[in-house]
Structure 1
Amino acid sequence: MTGRDPFLQANGTMENLLGIERAGELAVTEADYAAARTVQLREGRAPAGTRGNFDLAHLKAIHRHLFGDVYGWAGTTRAEPLTLGGVTVRQPPLLMKGTTTFEAGNRVNARLEAAFDRLRAEGYLQGLSREAFSERAADLLIQINNAHPFREGNGRTQREFMLQLAEQAGHPLNFDPISQQRMIVASYDGIQGDPSTMRRLFDEISDPDRVAVLERGVQYLEGARQHGPEWEEMYVATMTTGREYRGPLVAKGQEFFVMASEGGAIVGHPQDLPEGHGRYVTVQATPFPSVDGGPQPRLEHDLDY
């Protein structure tokens, strides 16, 4: 084995089955293939093994299905022998992204198998209240992410795994209005030993009333991106019941409002806005009301940051 990373071409682009040499082109192509395979997963048209067992083989099957069109190593964890171009090579012992170092490669499978053994012993989180499920599911996602079993595609694989687990447990999740920045922060905090950020995220995406209001706010931010940053680059979250918030209003609709916060935005329901409020408000968050999940409500006020 040489010192060269076996996953990378000489120019630094990931080795791939399509012969793509430019990183930008590869990223777009990979996303397109994975999106099409995701539809198959969610419609039940994926191969056997990509649903149901919630073990390491299940996780690997999801990764193989999502990325097998692009990478010859799809479905192979960092703990397993890697064959590229007919040659078996040893994988790098460590995986770093930015300043984060994930689980050592030779320990990945054992760590995940222990996590999935516990999941099985807990009855795959069935029969729990929504609150208990969301907390335990958040902790499981942190464990899987900390192991980071695959060289690329971990986030999308984990999301599909958790969506299936939640569906079976009777507490569906909705990751759609969770920004990339928020997931990065929650994942980083989890690696640092703080599960609270991920638990809050799961409490939102498992609550249909709360996540519906979050979707309203994200729809606004997505439509207003020409006036500000991409919503994916912001930390966007809903208000937590019982907490007080102060800040400038960005927008207000019939069933949502958006308040600017440091580095992102907070989304709430107009029932909490004080009567006769101005642009700068103080809000005491109350439980979110039931919503019908219908079309985007009419925007009443649109205020720039």
Structure 2
Amino acid sequence: MPDKYGVGEDAYCYAGSTVLRNKLDIRDEPTLSEAEQQLSAIAADNVEFNPPPYNLVYLQNIHRLLFSDLYEWAGELRTVGMAKQDTRFCQPQFMEKEAGKIFKSMATARWFEGMSRAELIIAVADAYSDINVVHPFREGNGRAQRILFEHLIMNAGFEISWWGIEKEEWIVANIAAYNCTLGPMEQVFEKCIGDEIPPHQLISIPTQNGKQ
């Protein structure tokens, strides 16, 4: 029985079901989805901003903080292949290597520090799209990834807000980026990235609740 990610029956789901095993023993997807949204939103308030360097372990820690109340495997790299329609994500055995390349590229770019807003939009759209293809977790990739990019963008000196972006817009942008068309993703970040942050305000910046 394939689920929305096309992985079929696997150890992450209850037997004969597409519902992920969870600490609350919720057995239907709508209720589990609602629990995910509520618990991760609450947990996001406890994710502290940290300056770079960033890496895959940093992203795993964000995921663990967001989902440890719900999933035993929160923060752990997935062990099954995954796909959404025609989008096939990185195979588990290659995820660490591919993520390492992306983080190394961002480090080489000095974590986008000193870029203009226009330059930053292009840079983060490209990096976000690359990490999305790695898709390191069985569930909750978008929420964890957006917090990582909040930190990147705030460290680069700009405000960031996801609230004007609809779910369908995210989906379209990610599919286009997978097919090497970054325009829609750049449009997303054009909406999300705000004004420059005065340097004295960068010391303690709260993390926003990522919108699914």
TM-score when normalising by structure 1? 0.59
More helix by share: 2
User: Aligned residue for 1:58?
Assistant: 58
User: Aligned residue for 2:208?
Assistant: none
Determine the C-alpha separation between the residues in 2 that align with 1:28 and 1:205. 24
Determine the C-alpha separation between the residues in 2 that align with 1:76 and 1:147. 14
User: Aligned residue for 2:128?
Assistant: 141
Aligned length: 188
Q: Which has the higher contact order (CA 8 A, sep 6+)?
A: 2
Amino acid at match of 2:162: F
In 2, are the aligned partners of 1:124 and 1:165 still within 8 Å (CA)? yes
In 1, are the aligned partners of 2:9 and 2:18 still within 8 Å (CA)? no
Amino acid at match of 1:62: I
- Does the alignment pair 1:9 with 2:14? yes
3-state secondary structure, aligned to 2:159: coil
Determine the C-alpha separation between the residues in 2 that align with 1:39 and 1:138. 25
Determine the C-alpha separation between the residues in 1 that align with 2:167 and 2:107. 30
User: Which residue among 94, 97, 114 is the counterpart of 1:127?
Assistant: 114
Determine the C-alpha separation between the residues in 1 that align with 2:116 and 2:86. 37
Structure number with bigger Rg = 1
Determine the C-alpha separation between the residues in 2 that align with 1:74 and 1:25. 19
More strand by share: 1
Determine the C-alpha separation between the residues in 1 that align with 2:188 and 2:36. 27
Amino acid at match of 2:40: A
Tell me the CA shift for residue 38 of structure 1. 1.0
4+ runs deviating over 6 angstroms: none
Determine the C-alpha separation between the residues in 1 that align with 2:70 and 2:104. 31
Amino acid at match of 1:21: R
User: Aligned residue for 1:75?
Assistant: 75
User: Aligned residue for 1:201?
Assistant: 188
Tell me the CA shift for residue 15 of structure 1. 0.8
3-state secondary structure, aligned to 2:130: helix
Q: Percent identity?
A: 28
Tell me the CA shift for residue 99 of structure 1. 3.3
User: Which residue among 26, 29, 33 is the counterpart of 1:27?
Assistant: 33
In 2, are the aligned partners of 1:189 and 1:197 still within 8 Å (CA)? yes
Which residues in structure 2 correspond to 1:31-180 (within 5 Å)? 31-41=37-47, 44=48, 51-52=50-51, 53-78=53-78, 91-92=79-80, 94-180=81-167
Listed as ranges, the gaps of 5+ residues in structure 2 are 1-7, 196-210
Amino acid at match of 2:58: H
TM-score when normalising by structure 2? 0.83
3-state secondary structure, aligned to 1:40: coil
User: Aligned residue for 1:267?
Assistant: none
Tell me the CA shift for residue 4 of structure 1. 4.2
Deviations along 1:188-227, one digit per CA (max 9) or x if unpaired, are 001111111111221222245xxxxxxxxxxxxxxxxxxx
User: Aligned residue for 1:275?
Assistant: none
User: Aligned residue for 2:176?
Assistant: 189
3-state secondary structure, aligned to 2:31: helix
Deviations along 1:108-152, one digit per CA (max 9) or x if unpaired, are 111111100111111111011111011101101001101111110
Determine the C-alpha separation between the residues in 2 that align with 1:116 and 1:192. 21
- Over the residues paired in the alignment, what is the CA RMSD in angstroms? 1.9
In 2, are the aligned partners of 1:111 and 1:147 still within 8 Å (CA)? yes
Amino acid at match of 1:16: N
